[in-house]
Structure 1
C-alpha cells in the first residue's frame, strides 16, 4: 500500500469532531491514522498514547491525527456507548471514527481497504494523499516523529 493513494475513510460515526472528516478535505496536511480497538492491549499500551503525543506535539494546521476504531472481534462489547466512555477515560482529544463493519468478512471496510492485519496499525499519509508509511504493531515514538517531521518538511520544500 505504501506509495499508493490513500483510500477514503468509511466511517459510520465520529467522536471529538463536529463534522465528518474526509481525506480529500485534509489534503495539504499530513494525516496520522491510528487504527485501534478498545480491548486491544497493544493499542492501550502503545498505539493510543503515541497518537496522543503526536496530537499534542505537532501543529494541528499541518498534522491531523485520526483514530479509527476498527472492530473485528468482541463486537458485543464495543458499542458506541462503551467507546464514548473509553474516549473520556483515556482523555483522547483527537477525532475518532468508527470503521464501517465488514459485510463479507470480519474486517471492517476501512481496515480491509488499507490491508491492515490487526491493531494497532499506523498509517502516515502525506500532504498529497499518498500512503508513505504503513505498519502493524507498536512503533518507536522517535522514529514515527522523525517520519512525520520529514513529511512536513517535504510539503514545505514544494511550496
Structure 2
C-alpha cells in the first residue's frame, strides 16, 4: 500500500487533490521529470493517449513531477511552461522536497526513477507499477481489466 501524495502544489487543477478523490475510478499516475528523455518521448505521450482512449468516468490520469536531479532547472515555473508546450492538461502534482535529493512521494512510494507509471484500482489499491517504458497494448489490457472489475464484472 502506498502513502498519500505529498504535493507542494498542483498544476492544471483548481484544488489540491488526494488519492481518495479518485476512488471509484481507475487511477493512472505518471511519475515524470520534464528533463527526462524517456518521460518526454514515452511516458507523457502514453499518459495523453490514455486520457484520449478511456472514459473519464472510468479512468483518471494525473502526473507527479518528481525531481531528483537538476533541481534548479526544473522549477514549478518551468513546469508550467512545459505543460503548456506539450499540451498536458491533466492534473500534475509537484512532488514535495524530501530530506535529501529524493522528493518525498518518490521516496515514500519506493520508486526507482522516471518514467514510472502506477495503476490504482477503483478502491485505491496499487495494482501495477511500471518503471521505464511499457507497451501500449499491454497497459491498455491492464487498464481495461481494472475498469471491468466494476460491480463484480470479473
TM-score normalised by structure 1 residue count: 0.93
1:82 aligned residue? 78
Q: Is 1:141 matched with 2:149? A: no
How many matched pairs?
Answer: 154
Task: Determine the structure 2 residue equivalent to 1:37.
Answer: 33
Cα drift, residue 25 of structure 1? 2.1
Say whether 1:124 aligns with 2:119. Answer: yes
Residue 147 of structure 2 is aligned to residue 152 of structure 1:
yes
In 2, distance between residues paired with 1:70 and 1:155? 31
Cα separation, 2, equivalents of 1:102 and 1:84: 21
Structure 1: distance between partners of 2:2 and 2:91: 18
Q: Which runs of 5+ in 1 are unaligned?
A: none
Is 1:100 the counterpart of 2:96? The answer is: yes
CA drift at 1:154 = 0.9
State yes or no: 1:56 paired with 2:47: no
Supply the distance in 2 between the matched residues of 1:126 and 1:155 (Cα, whole angstroms): 10
- Contact map agreement 1:32 1:123 (CA 8 A) in 2: yes
The C-alpha deviation readout for 1:93-141, integer Å capped at 9, x for no partner, is: 11101000111x2211111111110000010000111110011101111
Give the aligned CA root-mean-square deviation in angstroms.
1.3
TM-score, normalization by structure 2? 0.96
After the TM superposition, which parts of structure 1 deviate over 6 Å for at least 4 consecutive aligned residues?
none
Distance 1:7 1:158 in 2: 28
Aligned to 2:66: 70
CA apart distance, 1:60: 1.0
